[in-house]
Structure 1
Amino acid sequence: MNRPTTLREAIEAADSILIGAGAGLSAADGDHHSGPVFDARFADFRDQRGITDAYSGGFYPFPTSEERWAFWSRMISLLRYEAGPGQVYADLLGLVSERDYFIITTNVDHRFQTSGFDKEHLFYTQGDYGLLQCSVPCHDATYDNEKWVRQAVASQEGMRIPSELIPQCPRCGEEMTTNLRVDARFVQDAGWAAAAGRYEDFLERTCVDRVLYLELGVGMNTPSIIKFPFWRRVYDNPEATYACVALDASAPAEIADRSLLIRGDIAEALASARG
């Protein structure tokens, strides 16, 4: 078969499209994990704790729960509730909305949902900024945090929230934590399990089709979730195509003849494909 030479051709030729999205996609869409907006909102944490971006701040050993939740509530507010999606997600939705597609993502910023993607077509493997869970955890449930986040942001002073606002588990009384996969205590709730099941169903249903495995902004922090499985599935299915949009896009030699590597800006690539 003739292999596509452009992203648009690859999308049009596919029976089904599996999108693997990493942090680079939201970065291309103008998120505020770092940069001027983050600097302005977290100047106090930068000056007193040396925190210059959301990623390093997420692993900072804050001395008190009050300070830790001041940082986290402010960061969740900025990245989950204030910063809406931009043109990059709109272009991606325009390219696949009428197609048979599914998305697996390691992003936790909820941008797919707020951009209009059907949540039934989405598997968010690493959690969501908008959810809290028991830190133990004593049970497998998650809790929406928007009301608490807004209250914590409005109430904090001197890089601290009031002690009475430290979130506590409604069952065991222990302190809550964010529903983000950082260790074995990550809660995979009923919604997560349902999404995982839909993902597996999509993989099984399309395993011999002309599938486009479209990788957008995926790095090497967790390659076993998206990158390596995509490579393996293309290798196993002669009808499949692997497309990667990244500045350092690459593919194994074994699937080079079925790979489309676009070494450039994600925003430009999606806009060009959409026309």
Structure 2
Amino acid sequence: MPSTTEDAIRRAAGLLNGADGLLVAAGAGMGVDSGLPDFRGDGGFWRAYPALGRRGLSFHKIACPDTFDSDPALAWGFYGHRLALYRATRPHAGFAILRALAARMAHGAFVFTSNVDGQFQQAGFADERVAECHGSIHHLQCSRPCGEAIWPAGDFAPEVDAAACRLLSAPPHCPRCGALARPNILMFNDGAWIAHRTEAQLGRLAAWRRAVARPAVIELGAGTDIPSVRRYAQSQGLPLIRINPREPAVAQGVGLAMGARAALEKIAAEMNFDEGQ
């Protein structure tokens, strides 16, 4: 490592060593080391979903509630494929390092993430310590919606023609009114998202944050295109550890131009512990 990177790793370790709680702010880049796409730009998105590229459909156009009205099989082809992918993906070793870091701190960790993939819960983070600001693909709601109900997607096993990005099996439906169900995810131009699950998560996060006197803030893979995670991390008014291979600059704290897993492994090595501690 260049000396500047070594210095940054040491400063990051110092911020973590002095903390009594770990606030993890994670964007799409957190999942890249697990093999998940981050949909950066139309080119990257269309490489992940070539059928949508052939139709010129951007992420902004497919990730929209209108698509569930105009072409439900296409909408659920996209989200059904993602649901199956996230269920099958094993979180990378960086998640375990974060858990090990938090275990050293009196107040443990709380996660604020824009990711809808449920990877933090799959990696062993307690559900009550995760705030998903854009919702979760592992939960469903009515597409109308006819009420405020949100329910788990565990009974839905989508069969998808990946080459065409179309759902082949039956889509899920609202148990109350029978209308098409959709993921409980905040989409683009979305006035129908039911937010109370996320609002409850954010309430728990706020309560945890009030109890922590010396939190360390570590931001991972959070870009500027949809800056929800960056804004939240910066709103803490504390030095933060920003890990981002493309946009690492930070006004107050430490910036590491690295992927999430590599940076966390370097920090763990500097602190002389491993993910099993």
TM-score, structure 1 normalization: 0.77
Displacement of 1:33? 5.2
Matched, 1:273 2:248: no
Partner in structure 1 of residue 144 of structure 2: 136
Displacement of 1:112? 0.2
Which runs of structure 2 are paired with 1:142-153 in the superposition (5 Å)?
142-148=150-156, 150=157, 152-153=158-159
Cα distance, 1:55–1:98 mapped onto 2, change above 3 Å: farther
Of 91, 111, 123, which aligns to 2:97?
A: 91
- Does the CA contact (< 8 Å) of 1:4 and 1:10 recur in 2? no
Partner in structure 2 of residue 250 of structure 1: 249
Q: How many residues align?
A: 251
Partner in structure 1 of residue 239 of structure 2: 241
Output the CA distance in 1 between the equivalents of 2:161 and 2:233.
Answer: 45
Displacement of 1:14? 1.1
Partner in structure 1 of residue 231 of structure 2: 228
- Does the CA contact (< 8 Å) of 2:67 and 2:74 recur in 1? no
Of 1, 6, 9, which aligns to 2:14?
A: 9
For residue 136 of structure 2, give the secondary structure of its aligned residue in structure 1: strand
Displacement of 1:61? 4.9
Amino acid at match of 1:212: A
Partner in structure 1 of residue 111 of structure 2: 103
- Does the CA contact (< 8 Å) of 2:31 and 2:37 recur in 1? no
Cα distance, 1:103–1:186 mapped onto 2, change above 3 Å: same
Output the CA distance in 2 between the equivalents of 1:91 and 1:8.
Answer: 13
Cα distance, 1:194–1:216 mapped onto 2, change above 3 Å: same
Matched, 1:214 2:218: yes
Of 163, 175, 178, which aligns to 1:173?
A: 178
For residue 89 of structure 1, give the secondary structure of its aligned residue in structure 2: helix
Amino acid at match of 1:166: P
For residue 6 of structure 1, give the secondary structure of its aligned residue in structure 2: helix
Among all aligned residue pairs of Structure 1 and Structure 2, give the percentage whose two residues are the same amino acid: 23
Matched, 1:81 2:87: yes
- Does the CA contact (< 8 Å) of 1:29 and 1:85 recur in 2? yes
Cα distance, 1:139–1:6 mapped onto 2, change above 3 Å: same
Displacement of 1:50? 5.2
Cα distance, 1:124–1:145 mapped onto 2, change above 3 Å: same
Displacement of 1:159? 5.4
For residue 241 of structure 2, give the secondary structure of its aligned residue in structure 1: strand
Output the CA distance in 2 between the equivalents of 1:221 and 1:34.
Answer: 11
Alignment RMSD: 3.2
Partner in structure 2 of residue 20 of structure 1: 25
TM-score, structure 2 normalization: 0.77
* Unaligned ranges ≥5, structure 2: 1-7, 270-277
* Unaligned ranges ≥5, structure 1: 235-239
Matched, 1:68 2:75: yes
